[in-house]
Amino acid sequence: MTTLSIFNQSQPDAAHTVTTDPQVISDTLASQGVRFERWPTRELPADASQEQILAIYAEEVAALKRECGFLTADVVSLNPDNPQKDAFRQKFLAEHTHSEDEVRFFVRGQGLFYLHFGGQVYALMCQKNDLISVPNGTHHWFDMGPEPEFTCIRLFTNPDGWVASFTGEDIAARLPRYEALAGVAG
């Protein structure tokens, strides 16, 4: 279930707001400039290729490209049997920013976005059907968990794709990780 937990960075062990209501999540994130929407998903073959996924969602991808000026779209997918899953997880666990909006539409699985605004951290457990657009310059990180299983459509204005500028802050290490927020045994 899509869940938003808001933490005070000075008390990272206790979420002070938790909601699963999609409208409350959307409104709360919108107040920080973050776009959150629930989109209907379509049936996909278990072994759907990037091309198939992009073709199935061509209308939505084209609309976002027109609306936001995105130039490219691709699909990222990770499964628990990936031998590099630990390295991939570590790469995204450090707080960073981007010079463009980070857009993800979850067509399968789940992942946890952390958004750092001032003294608060918004932890959004995204699920299948969730679209998130993190504005450029927003301090954030992503936790896919120890057994990642997700497929997302990504959109970019930069043809080089995902380019991060790491902040060097240790805030990500001080907050509960995916295992705690997803109820998964670590």
Two tokens at 174? 């001080």
Binding-site residue numbers for Ni(2+) are 96, 98, 102, 140
The 10 Å CB-count burial string (b at 16+, else e) for 116-139 is: bbeeebbbbbbbbbbbbbbbeebb
Q: CA nearest 122: which of 32, 35, 184?
A: 32
Handedness of CA 170, 86, 140, 25 (dihedral sign): negative
Bridge partners (DSSP) of residue 118 are none
Binding-site residue numbers for Fe(2+) are 96, 98, 102, 140
Binding-site residue numbers are 96, 98, 102, 140
Query: Which residue reads 């278990």 in tokens?
Result: 46
